[in-house]
Amino acid sequence: MIKLNAFFKSFGPKKVLRGLNLETESGEIVTLVGNNGSGKTTLLRILTTLDVPDSYNIAEIDGFDLSTNREEVRSRIGYLSHNPPYYPELTGVENLKFWLDLNSIENSEEKARNLLAQVGLISFSDDLSGNYSRGMIQRLGFSMAISHSPTTLLLDEPFTGLDSEGTEIIKELLLKQKEDGCSIVIVSHDELSYSDRTIKLERGEIA
Amino acid sequence: MNPLIVLIRKELKVEFRSLQGIVSSALLSFMILMTFKFSMSLDSSFEGTGVLWSVILLTGLGLITHISTRESERGTFELLKLSSITRYQLFLGRMAGSLLLLWILSTIITILYVILFENQFGNNLPLAYLVVLVGCVGIAAVGTLAASTATPLHGGWMITSLFSIPILLFTVIEASLRATDSLITNDSDFQLAFMLLILYNLAFVTGGAWLSELSE
């Protein structure tokens, strides 16, 4: 669950987020739409703790403050950036296993293969990820985002580069996460039919 | 599994499958050593290990900057920051990964140095090699900290060197140089210089971990 109140962020003189208020419930899918530069990605990056807000009254994930409980926040979020990071020298399963091991998750190899099967990459799991297509990287990135059972999923244009099969797989997995009580925020240029709410950002404010 | 081991294993796998950092740094080291060899060929009185430490410092920092820039450009540094490990664990894990690669590089440099400039250390060669390995700890600590801060910036590779070299020159490099030079001249400075080197290393490793945690 995300709770933001009077949330501000600037880059130099440019005010990117202006007194934003946002609340999401568990098991809710919220789509953030808006033009380029409206502050969508900045908001997501701050929620992941990769960036810091300038000021706020409340900024919490599951009751943990974004500034003072960063480790707790990080352990609760799954994040898929616009260009999912990965190590091209490692295979798909090695990338995922590395991430799981880093987060101290047991049976990492078995869990990694299971996740790759869910996103339809099991037959490519032992191939070097440097040879993956854009859509396959997106699937790998998504499996990393959900691998540690986060309570909040933050997805920046998750359907980029995906074919229709990939889009359907990710959609099914998103609905499963929703059923499990995960709070999901999706940044997208299009409205999504299965989204519970669509919020439009305009110059850092909710329109 | 301990996050430090996870980070070290990842670093070794990534490097040994690409060989981008080690091979290019080793080749650069060879070329710098050859340059010194030719430029000093007329000076028969040449003695001391300044050449050895210059090459380790310059190419070692180049290797660390390469590792950090690769991580930064791919966005995987942000991935690491998103994991639930503490910042000091992240620093120590990245530093340890760089240190292992630096040890490989400095072993190659030491072998080349002994071949090109003859074995000035005599029977003290194993001790000289130990000083090289210990000296690399400080270089890895300062280099990793500087590279983590600088590589996301434009011209980060240059900033890393500009920041690291002055700090290392008057601490780790000076102590290492004194230690290895004393092995050539067989004077009593070795123990003091080696002790000083260990103290500098401790200060930089703990300082780096503390600053990483503070950056949170």
Report DSSP letters for A91-146, one per residue. BHHHHHHHHHHHTT-SSHHHHHHHHHHHTT-GGGTTSBGGG--HHHHHHHHHHHHH
Min Cα–Cα distance to chain A from B72, Å: 10
Residue with tokens 């140089």: B177
Taking the Cβ of residue A70 and every Cβ of chain B, the question of whether any pair is shorter than 8 Å is answered with yes
Task: Tell me the C-alpha distance between A27 and A175, whole Å.
Answer: 9
Q: Which residue of B has its CA nearest to A89?
A: B14
Nearest to B71 by CA among B89, B85, B91, B57: B91
pLDDT over 90 (residue A127):
yes
Q: Which residues of chain B lie closer than 8 angstroms to A89, CB-CB?
A: 13-14, 17-18
pLDDT tens for residues A57-87?
888 999 999 988 888 999 999 999 989 999 9
Going by their DSSP bridges, the two strands A64-65 and A58-61 should be labelled as antiparallel
> In DSSP terms, which residues pair with A29 in a beta bridge?
A184
Residue B201: predicted pLDDT? 97
**pLDDT value, residue B47:** 65
- Per DSSP, the three-state class of A59 is strand
Of A20-24, A142-146, A174-178, B190-194, the range with the lowest mean pLDDT is: A20-24
Cβ-nearest to A81 among B75, B83, B85:
B75
What is the model's pLDDT at position B43? Answer: 59
Q: How far apart are CA A137 and CA A146, in angstroms?
A: 14
| A40: DSSP letter | H
What region does A165 belong to: left with phi over 0, alpha with psi -120 to 50, or beta? alpha
Name the E strands within chain A: 2-11, 14-23, 29-34, 58-61, 64-65, 77-80, 152-156, 183-187, 197-202, 205-206
Chain B partners of A128 at a C-beta cutoff of 8 Å?
Answer: 17
Question: Chain B closest CA to A104's CA: distance in Å?
Answer: 6
Torsion region of A202: left, alpha or beta (phi above 0 gives left; psi -120 to 50 gives alpha): beta
Q: Which two tokens stand for residue B148?
A: 């983590």
Separation of alpha carbons B98 and B66, rounded Å: 10
Between helices B50-74 and B125-150, what is the axis angle to 10°?
A: 30
On the question of pLDDT at A14 being above 90, the answer is no
Please give the pLDDT value at position B54: 94
* DSSP 8-class letter at A38: S
Confidence bin at A19 (pLDDT 50/70/90): confident
Q: What is the pLDDT of residue B46?
A: 55
Q: What is the DSSP letter of B144?
A: H
A50 contacts in chain B (CB < 8 Å): 78, 81-82
Task: Tell if the CB–CB gap between A102 and B6 is shorter than 8 Å.
Answer: yes
Measured CA to CA in angstroms, residue B108 lies from A56, B36, B91, B123 at distances of 54, 17, 26, 19
- Average pLDDT over chain A reads 91
Q: Which of B7, B13, B81 sits opposite A50 (nearest CB)?
A: B81
- Whole-prediction pTM: 0.90
Compute the average pLDDT of residues A135-164.
93
Local confidence pLDDT in tens for the 216 residues of chain B: 788 999 999 999 999 999 989 999 999 999 999 998 888 765 545 567 899 999 999 999 999 999 999 999 999 999 999 998 999 999 999 999 999 999 999 999 999 999 998 888 889 999 999 999 999 999 999 999 999 888 878 887 888 889 999 999 999 999 999 999 999 888 888 999 999 999 999 999 999 999 998 877
Phi, psi for A56 (deg, rounded to 5): -170, 160
Q: Is the pLDDT of residue A156 over 90?
A: yes
